[in-house]
Amino acid sequence: MKTETIEYKDGATTLRGFLAYDEKASGKRPGVIVMPEVYGLNDHARGKAQKLAELGYVALAGDPHGNGAVHNSLQDAMQAAGPLMGDPNNARNRMKATFDKLASLSQVDSSRIASIGFCMGGTLSLELARAGAPLRGVVSFHGGLQTQRPAEPGVLKAKLLVCTGADDPFVPAAQVNGFIEEVNKAKADWQVIIYSGTGHSFTNPDASKAGVPGVAYNKAADERSWAAMASFFKEIF
């Protein structure tokens, strides 16, 4: 497997993504964007990109903050994410830049692209779908489901798979229900999977380090949601 840092631009901001793919494979393959948790492009997202490359996809872990910035404290990360999460235009532009970079790669079949994301990365992936990007699918793992600019019928094209914890304090049932109402209005093809006994950040083995109640790794939910994604990709690609 080959991994490399690739640079791309969102306006004046330089983004440093992490690309992973099987360099021995030939022909164009589906591409998958991997958007990290709020901390930035860290080892968690890199590891997921490498696992996707093992499944045969060309995976680009995106750089949400720019310049490859990674924040170790949740407070710093939230502050850095402010402009991105506060304005859907910013979120969508950053995601479109990531999509365009992945679509431009010679190994990638640009008609077969999906975006997955964790925590803020799930939210960003859903924003890209709401913006009408020609994605085959989006998978959100413990991502926030709210938006300032709801999906519209005919604009949102991606099939959506939302994997969420029943006990996630940042994505409570009311938020899940609001999302369902939104994407029903947009006539989307969606699936929501709810996992018992599961909090926020359940795919991240280091989640508990943040020391935030309701934020914890859950091995069963991590493995189940990854299997659900793999099955979903078989369907859409």
- Per this entry, what is the length of the chain? 237
Helix (H, G, I), strand (E, B) or coil at 89: helix
CB of 192: closest distance to a copy of itself in angstroms? Answer: 5
Q: Rank residues 24 and 234 by Cβ distance to a copy of itself and give the closer one.
A: 234
- Out of 97, 133, 156, 183, the only residue in the binding site for a copy of itself (CB under 8 A) is 183
- Out of 89, 191, 206, 208, the only residue in the binding site for a copy of itself (CB under 8 A) is 191
- Out of 41, 60, 116, 188, the only residue in the binding site for a copy of itself (CB under 8 A) is 188
CB 131 within 8 A of CB 112: no
Contacts of 74 (CB under 8 A, 6+ apart): 38, 39, 210, 212
Contacts of 43 (CB under 8 A, 6+ apart): none
Q: Token match 């009408």: residue?
A: 132
- Out of 55, 69, 192, 212, the only residue in the binding site for a copy of itself (CB under 8 A) is 192
Instruction: Name the residue type at position 16.
Output: R
b/e code 183-217 from CB counts within 10 Å (16+ = b): beebebebebebbeebbbbbbbeebeebeeeebbb
CB of 233: closest distance to a copy of itself in angstroms? Answer: 11
- Out of 25, 55, 69, 228, the only residue in the binding site for a copy of itself (CB under 8 A) is 228
For residue 208, state whether it binds a copy of itself (rule: CB under 8 A): no
| 36-75 residues near a copy of itself, rule: CB under 8 A | none
CB of 194: closest distance to a copy of itself in angstroms? Answer: 5
For residue 236, state whether it binds a copy of itself (rule: CB under 8 A): no
Nearest Cα residue to 221 out of 184, 166, 175: 166
For residue 223, state whether it binds a copy of itself (rule: CB under 8 A): yes
Question: Where along the sequence are the contacts to a copy of itself (CB under 8 A)?
Answer: 166, 173, 177, 180, 183-184, 187-197, 220, 223-224, 227-228, 231, 234-235
